[in-house]
Amino acid sequence: MERADMKQQVAGRLRQKHGELLTIGETAGALKRTAASLKTIFASSTRRNQAWVQRLMEGRVRIGRRVFFHSDAVAGVIVFGNKERDAS
């Protein structure tokens, strides 16, 4: 199975379970991390430069004070991990 197909499959599962936008808690659960660790990573200037963090931040949406992440961005992190860029 191609990675782009895997990404679409994972994104579909995330959409079924959580909808198009995931909260930071749901995102942390999908990535098998805690919400506090994600917040620390986003605040860290050295970790913010990692490919997976940049991919996740590109899918970030702020609605008021709340932060959400697109299911496609989270799926990209799950499938592609810390690789520089995915094929899609």
- pLDDT at position 22 is 96
User: How many domains does one find in the chain?
Assistant: 1
- pLDDT at position 88 is 46
Alpha-carbon distances, residue 72 vs 9, 14, 40, 44 (angstroms): 10, 9, 22, 23
In a domain, 26, yes or no: yes
In a domain, 17, yes or no: yes
In a domain, 86, yes or no: no
- pLDDT at position 85 is 55
In a domain, 76, yes or no: yes
Domain housing 65: 3-80
- pLDDT at position 34 is 95
- pLDDT at position 84 is 61
Q: Could you tell me the mean pLDDT of each successive run of 10 residues in the chain, 88 residues long?
A: 85 93 95 93 84 91 96 92 60
pTM of the model: 0.84
In a domain, 47, yes or no: yes
Cross-sheet strand order for the sheet of 66-70: 21-23, 66-70, 60-63
In a domain, 30, yes or no: yes
- pLDDT at position 50 is 87
In a domain, 88, yes or no: no
In a domain, 64, yes or no: yes
